[in-house]
Structures are given as structure tokens and as C-alpha cells.
Amino acid sequence: MQRLADALMLGSLALYLLTMLTFAVALLVML
């Protein structure tokens, strides 16, 4: 159960970072 929670947290963190990266790239393209 603990491993599942760790994987879920890691996955959400990766998704968050990916979203931030995509947002940053979109801003750079708009400039």
C-alpha cells in the first residue's frame, strides 16, 4: 500500500513538473 502511495505521489509530481515545463515553453513561444 505504501509503495502505491509513493508511486502516486511521484506520478503527480512528474505531471506537475511537465505542466510547468509546457507552460514555460508556451510563454517563450508567445514572446
Rounded distance, CA 18 to CA 8, Å? 15
Residue 7's domain comprises: 1-30
How far apart are alpha carbons 24 and 9 in whole angstroms?
23
Per-residue model confidence as pLDDT tens for the chain (31 residues): 899 999 999 999 999 999 999 999 999 999 8
The identity of residue 16, as a single letter, is: Y
Number of domains in the chain: 1
> How confident is the model at residue 1, as a pLDDT?
80
Residue 26 is predicted with a pLDDT of: 97
Q: What is the pLDDT, as a whole number, of residue 7?
A: 96
Q: Please measure the distance between the N-terminal and C-terminal CA atoms of the chain and give it in whole angstroms.
A: 46
